[in-house]
Amino acid sequence: MPGLFELKNIGYSYINGQPALSDINLVVNEGEIVSVIGSNGSGKSTLLNILCGLAFPNKGTISFKGEIFNEKSFKNDQFSRKFRSSIAYVFQNSDAQLFCPTVFDELIFGPLQLEIPRENAFHRAEEVMQMLNITDLKDRPVYMLSSGEKKRVAIGAVLTSNPEVLIIDEPMSGLDPKTRSFLIELIFTLNKVGKTIIIATHHLELVDHLQSGVVVLSEKHNIEKTGNSSDILSDTDLLIKTNLISEYPHRHDGKIHKHLSSGFLDHSHKKNQNNSQGTL
């Protein structure tokens, strides 16, 4: 059986010649959670744009459920409808995604576009509002919401179309810890009911929580390594090389030694550490 997505030798450069992806080979299987990680500018958002048919590679091929697609495929109504109803994209910036006057309008927009009967669309919106705990925001104008509330509405706005695949760009950015925990639980809940979830992030803590498949993009825009969360997070050299963590000097017990920038990764404070740089 083919993977849900199969990418072969994908290359992508922007119109100004800026390279964003190089020689990407990747299979995403149905029901997986996949985290795409990499430093700023490594190509994460570009890869997500390609997966959801918003950008088309200059090189290589991409298939969805065994069917290779490109820009022309979207002129075919049948393919376009199948693809667009299966895949949902949650933008990093909720303001770029939300445009309806109220939260409720936002939630019913997708299903109405898919020509789902109004009554069903309304029912879905009520269900999704309960799930995301946003029922009290129903009639509020979206532009007046906090960034955490907007993120819930942005996710709600795609869930009402009941997609098979959720593609989420930087889900944690700009959110408080409570909303972050809520989102992590939501990702698990949605995955348990069978949804494939692909996220781009540079939050290693999220990658640790999700214990997902991980794709690491390098600053040269290719895949540096794939593995599971534990494989990747225990590979300190890889994380330093791909600029996902860095070392900085830190004072402890009167000594300066180097620390990794990501505080949640294991570290110890043994006496006479090799990397001590002297007493203050």
Ligand X SMILES: Nc1ncnc2c1ncn2[C@@H]1O[C@H](COP(=O)(O)OP(=O)(O)O)[C@@H](O)[C@H]1O
Closest distance to ligand X from the beta carbon of 115 (Å): 32
Regarding 203 and contact with ligand X (CB under 6 A), the answer is no
| Residue 42 within binding range of ligand X, rule CB under 6 A | yes
Which segment (31-39, 40-48, 223-231, 243-251) binds Mg ion by CB under 5 A?
Answer: 40-48
**Using the rule CB under 6 A, is 18 a contact of ligand X?**
yes
Output 149 or 170, the one with its CB closest to Mg ion: 170
Q: What is the rounded distance in angstroms from the CA atom of residue 35 to the CA atom of residue 32?
A: 10
Span of 38-46, 95-103, 150-158, 239-247 interacting with Mg ion by CB under 5 A: 38-46
- The only residue of 5, 22, 24, 38 in contact with ligand X, by rule CB under 6 A: 38
Q: Does 20 bind ligand X (CB under 6 A)?
A: yes
Residue 99 touches which of ligand X, Mg ion, none (Cβ within 5-8 Å per kind): none
Is position 99 an interface residue for ligand X (rule: CB under 6 A)?
Answer: no
Q: State the minimum distance, in angstroms, from the CB of residue 96 to ligand X.
A: 13
